[in-house]
Structure 1
């Protein structure tokens, strides 16, 4: 499966049906819509967000279509151009919680120029290979080794809208796998329950994406206000139907009713614990997969076998003990499981003594 990919997240729409509010900043389950989407593409080598800079849960690079507000195709071209430039500098990135007033915004390079530069580089590389040109000059061996050690830009570009509250990494991985499985495909689109393509929940091969954008630019003398379907029509695509657990992956929040629906859905009994744990881990900056069943069993044993207030206090102490064990080299998830096992055994012994006394 393709594991290396870049991501472009479109976050600069006008949100007219929401009264012009800052839609990417609206919170669902205590987390901004944009942050929820950024969590789904956390595996990206580089993430470019097309929109106005703001604090985010992880570092991203910012850019904007010029002029702003000229539609999703123009915004996507700006994002693709930002990916095609040199690696993001420190000024383009910011860490979680940092203020970003006045943060620099990368200028959108011309997509046609990027395509031409890439083609010229490929031609130069082909001409220089084994011909006695510069590649054979003294010192070329060192330069070639240095170039080989540098990471190559991923061939896949994940493109997402910033208002997808239920998108998860599993859907991203399915799209990447589908593109890998079809060597001739130039894009992989998620399709919703009605079979409609979702070009803003999709992964594109980088070169065909830039070619299609360049063709549209020349055909329409620009990209302003073009519909996304005009881009999709120019690419050979594979369709990826949403699975049973992905029915809401393409659900987007365009209206206040959509926002209310999303907020109600994450509080559903079957989803609320996972949503809450994810939100807490994000808020605390934790990258840890925890067996919630083990912790819930521990809380139950402490509450029933000792006293009800013992449940939260015990789980807190388990977390503290796990952190101390992790400092000594134990894997965090294993440390939590071991500390929970010891505390649960103690609670059961405590309860057994009470039963014997009774």
Structure 2
């Protein structure tokens, strides 16, 4: 059993990507690497990496699971991923965050030293980023077991996580690639700015 300082990571990589034209978004490349590879690198300190989604030809060493039914949304995906978590803390991450880095996750994990059951990134507009957060595993598991809804916000917001605002810079850690236009902008940012 992992020690109290250990953490696992669950990467949600199985959405239908409707706004992305149905293409395989986590396999899309930014700066020479697939989006999924960027997020896996950000979570490189995890004791166990769990990727929820279809099999794909992406170089990520992880436990791979599918939500039931496939494409059912983030709550069933979290349920499938959390079943594989062994550590007392878990990072819950979207698979399309090209600028997320280990230091960002370290900041979120550091916020779990207080009483809050979780910590989520807050973007520069003040919006909670539910797929860029870290949680104590047991409170998250308990909430998920009791939850019958389909909204990730509906599940996570009542837990009252710490809200962590980080400097945005040109490559904000919460920047996700939901559309082809956002992917093109991420590629441009990766070309123009240094890490």
Aligned-partner Cα distance in 2 for 1:214–1:65? 15
With structure 1 as the length reference, what TM-score do the two structures score? 0.52
Q: CA RMSD in A?
A: 1.6
- The structure with the greater share of residues assigned to helix is 1
Unaligned runs of 5+ in 1: 84-152, 275-358
Output aligned runs, 1:30-109, within 5 Å: 30-83=32-85
Output aligned runs, 1:154-303, within 5 Å: 154-180=87-113, 182=114, 184-216=115-147, 220=148, 226-245=150-169, 248-268=172-192, 270-271=193-194, 274=195
Unaligned runs of 5+ in 2: none
Partner SS for 1:6 = strand
Partner SS for 1:234 = helix
Moved over 4 A (4+): 244-247
- Residues 246 and 267 (structure 1), Cα distance of their counterparts in 2 relative to 1, 3 Å cut: closer
- Residues 16 and 244 (structure 1), Cα distance of their counterparts in 2 relative to 1, 3 Å cut: closer
With structure 2 as the length reference, what TM-score do the two structures score? 0.93
The higher relative CO (CA closer than 8 Å, separation ≥ 6) is in 2
Quote how far apart the aligned CAs of 1:266 are. 0.8
Larger Rg: 1
Aligned-partner Cα distance in 2 for 1:157–1:231? 16
Aligned-partner Cα distance in 1 for 2:60–2:140? 26
